[in-house]
Amino acid sequence: MKSYKITWGNHSLELGKRTCVMGIVNVTPDSFSDGGKYNSIDKAVAHGERLFREGADILDIGGESTRPFSDPVPAGDEIQRVIPVIRELVRRVPIPVSIDTKKAVVAKEAIAAGASIVNDISAMKADPDMAEIVAKAGVPIVLMHMKGTPKTMQEAPAYNDLIPDITKFLTEAIAYAQRCGIDKAKIIIDPGIGFGKTVSHNLTLINNLAAFNDLDTPLLIGPSRKAFIRAILKNENSGTINPDSKIAETGTQAAIAAAILNGAHIVRVHNAADSRATADIIDAIKTAGTELQAITS
């Protein structure tokens, strides 16, 4: 597994030997998991601090739900939700704070408030001004694959050939970012688990993450509590599984372990404590014997 180092401003991320945990802070009333739980400045900030204490390396702040069939939120509402939280968290925690948005004006305000990563689920396709904002700020950008929009993405998603289709999309997204002046050393890719994918698509992606190695960028995976996990675990007795249930979190940890073993550098999660423990164990397994190999080679 190739290692990467991203350095910018006062921050540096070593990605490779140790998996990076990105903790989710949803400042929304309607996210599929924990929607409404942290829908105030004080609660969101306290949650972010808790994620940091429990092992998060990045905090990802979002003010617009991107769950399947969700409606878009006006930029003004999104700004009102996230900016006070970002401003307070960057004062309280030393780790990078990311803004989860596809709107350039929100990213610009978030960066001015102290955010230092942009996580764009549209890979900068939703807003033509996003690339200029990111390039000018010199911050890392997460480019994610999504088929359609959150409103439409789960309406019978289909591909000609899943892995090549997503690889082509991400290759073009990286090239576009570079043409716009974004340093490739600050680009992170995300194949978009749950964003326009069936259960089979998601499982295939996690099982074939090595296919994205040739893109030569760090890889972020976000399986946390998503519908494919709940669909697998559902049975006649359990009925519908709540995203915030213990069994959904247990399934999440299994998906995270598989993703790390297959090459994920960053995992985006709701539960930092459990995910940090999972990552530490899998990282130790992955690196076991490397010192002996170095000695005997």
State phi, psi for 157 to the nearest 5 degrees: -65, 140
Are the C-beta atoms of 92 and 61 separated by less than 8 Å?
Answer: no
From residue 67, give the alpha-carbon distance in Å to each of 26, 106, 146, 169, 282: 12, 19, 12, 21, 29
Cα atoms found within 13 Å of the Cα of residue 288, Cβ hemisphere only: 8
| Residue in 108, 225, 268, 276 annotated catalytic | 268
d(CA 116, CA 11): 9
Cβ distance 270 to 250 under 8 Å? no
| Active-site residue flag, 225 | no
Catalytic residue among 103, 108, 226, 276: 226
Sign of CA dihedral 233, 60, 201, 187: negative
Interatomic CA distance for residues 117 and 135, integer angstroms: 11
Residue type, position 255, single letter: A
CA 121, CA 118: separation in Å to the nearest integer? 10
Q: What 3-state class would DSSP assign to 24?
A: strand
- DSSP string across 34-50: TTTTT-SHHHHHHHHHH
Count each helix (H run) and each strand (E run) in the chain, helices first: 10, 10
Distance CA 37, CA 225 (A): 16
- Look up tokens 């972020």; give the residue: 220
Structure tokens at 113: 């408030």
Instruction: Point out the residues that are catalytic.
Output: 226, 268
